[in-house]
Each structure stands twice: as structure tokens, then as C-alpha cells.
């Protein structure tokens, strides 16, 4: 059964993220000018956010925050059970969200099945309720080559982010298999490396690099990375 989403859900979400006991990885993003963002409910569907100072990237703050249901998570939050409420063993019926699909089944090491969310708010220009698909199945595959093999065998309908070698292989078979390959060009995605700059003491540089998650053959200091 669906429950309405309103300003109270938003307020509780930000309260939880800003609570230091929760150890939310998003908390630092919600502190601007040394002060937490102030969240104020104006009416059932309006929330005001007040920042301590001007912040050019303010809109990006909300990109990384998934809205969560108050009716399922507020009670565990007040009981200090927020972090353990939704786990890999939680039944799909006890998890809710605002997206076009909702969790139907999770099989560890095998697949995730999503089903159409009948309460999703968005519709197309003809006022047909979205999404169009009834179900999505994501298979867990060990590596890119195995992913390509599963696609060639007809086990999957879509494959993305593969190497030039596998692209060449699939392009040669596209006509005979009835598949299509599209180069979508540059995307808005980005990848980055995070270096552990903690003081690792007198340990050898090779050991330091492995612990810091740096490519072997690199030496890390507080200001530079040297590869050899």
C-alpha cells in the first residue's frame, strides 16, 4: 500500500543525514560555511533550505540524496536503528522509494529484479503513466568478458561500457545477430581516485601504497604521488 510523500519526509531525511550518530557519508555535503543547512517546512509540499553563506554548487547537494520514506524509517531512526533497518535480507515489500521502479527480488550473487512502480508520478506527453516497462532484471556478471558472452548467448538484452576489443567483436556479429551498437558520445559521468593521505608512519612505501589503495609502484606523500 502506498503512502504519501510530503515535506515531513524531507525534513526527517535531512535530520537523519545531519545527525552525527548516523555517520552519514553525505553529512559533510550538508555543512556549508561551518554550519549545517537549516531545513524548514513551509507547508505540506514546500521546504525552505537556508545556507550560512553563498554556495555556487548548492544545487548539486541534492543530487546525491535519495528521498526516503518517513513512515518506514522515522521510528527506527528514533530508536537508533536507522543504519540496520534496510539490509540485504530485508523483504522487498518493506522497502519503498519514489523512483519509476521498485525492488521485487534480490538473489545474492545472481540478480536484482525491479518491477514497475504503479504510483510513480511522471507521465508522458499523452498522459500515459510511466514507466512503459513492467520489469527490469539486472544480472551479476563476474567481468566484462563474461558480460559480453552472456549478451552473445541472448541471456541479456542490453550491454554497456565495454572495451574496444569487445566492441569490435560485437560489431562484427551485429548484422547476423540482429543487434545494434550505439556510440552515445561523451557523458556527464566522471571517475576519480581518492588517495589516503593519513600518516602511515615508517612503513615501507610499497606497503603504504597497497594500504592506501594506490597502484603498485607508486609512492605517496602528503603532497604528491610518485610512480616508477
Residue 206 has pLDDT above 70, yes or no: no
Is residue 39 within 8 Å of residue 11, measured between CB atoms? yes
In this structure, what DSSP letter does residue 123 have?
B
Residue 220 has pLDDT above 80, yes or no: no
pLDDT computed for residue 202 by the predictor? 58
Indicate the pLDDT class of residue 123, thresholds 50, 70 and 90: very high
pLDDT computed for residue 224 by the predictor? 47
Who's near 12: CB < 8 A, 6+ residues apart?
70, 73, 74, 77
Per-residue model confidence as pLDDT tens digits over 85-121: 999 899 998 999 999 999 999 999 999 999 999 999 9
> What is the grid cell recorded at 54?
553563498
Q: What is the mean pLDDT of the chain?
A: 85
Residue 218 has pLDDT above 80, yes or no: no
% residues pLDDT > 90 (the chain):
51
Give how far Cα 123 sits from Cα of 100, 126, 129, 136, 223, Å.
10, 8, 4, 19, 51
Is residue 146 within 8 Å of residue 138, measured between CB atoms? no
Per-residue model confidence as pLDDT tens digits over 25-62: 889 989 999 999 999 999 999 999 999 999 988 888 88
CA–CA separation, 198 and 185 (whole Å): 38
In DSSP terms, 49 is beta-bridged to: 39
pLDDT computed for residue 203 by the predictor? 56
CA-CA-CA-CA torsion sign (61, 67, 73, 78):
positive
> What is the grid cell recorded at 117?
512502480
Is residue 211 within 8 Å of residue 196, measured between CB atoms? yes
pLDDT computed for residue 83 by the predictor? 84
pLDDT computed for residue 211 by the predictor? 52
> What is the grid cell recorded at 5?
510523500
Residue 76 has pLDDT above 60, yes or no: yes
State the pTM of this model.
0.70
* Closest of 134, 159, 161 to residue 148, by C-alpha: 159
Amino acid at each position: 500500500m502506498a503512502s504519501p510523500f510530503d515535506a515531513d519526509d524531507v525534513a526527517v531525511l535531512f535530520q537523519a543525514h545531519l545527525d552525527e550518530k548516523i555517520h552519514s557519508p553525505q553529512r559533510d555535503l550538508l555543512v556549508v560555511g561551518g554550519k549545517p543547512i537549516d531545513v524548514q517546512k513551509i507547508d505540506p509540499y514546500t521546504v525552505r533550505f537556508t545556507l550560512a553563506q553563498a554556495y555556487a554548487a548548492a544545487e548539486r547537494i541534492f543530487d546525491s540524496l535519495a528521498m526516503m520514506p518517513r513512515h518506514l524509517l522515522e521510528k527506527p531512526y528514533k530508536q537508533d536503528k536507522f543504519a540496520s533497518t534496510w539490509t540485504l535480507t530485508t523483504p522487498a515489500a518493506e522497502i519503498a522509494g519514489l523512483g519509476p521502479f521498485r525492488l521485487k527480488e534480490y538473489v545474492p550473487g545472481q540478480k536484482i529484479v525491479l518491477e514497475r512502480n504503479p504510483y510513480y508520478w511522471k507521465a508522458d506527453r499523452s498522459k500515459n503513466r510511466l514507466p512503459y516497462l513492467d520489469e527490469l532484471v539486472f544480472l551479476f556478471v563476474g567481468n566484462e568478458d563474461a558480460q559480453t558472452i552472456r549478451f552473445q548467448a541472448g541471456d541479456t538484452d542490453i550491454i554497456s561500457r565495454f572495451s574496444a576489443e569487445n566492441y569490435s567483436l560485437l560489431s562484427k556479429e551485429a548484422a547476423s545477430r540482429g543487434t545494434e551498437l550505439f556510440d552515445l558520445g561523451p557523458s556527464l559521468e566522471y571517475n576519480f581516485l581518492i588517495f589516503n593521505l593519513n600518516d602511515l608512519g615508517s612503513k615501507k612505501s610499497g606497503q603504504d601504497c597497497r594500504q592506501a589503495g594506490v597502484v603498485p609502484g607508486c609512492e605517496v606523500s602528503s603532497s604528491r604521488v610518485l610512480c616508477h
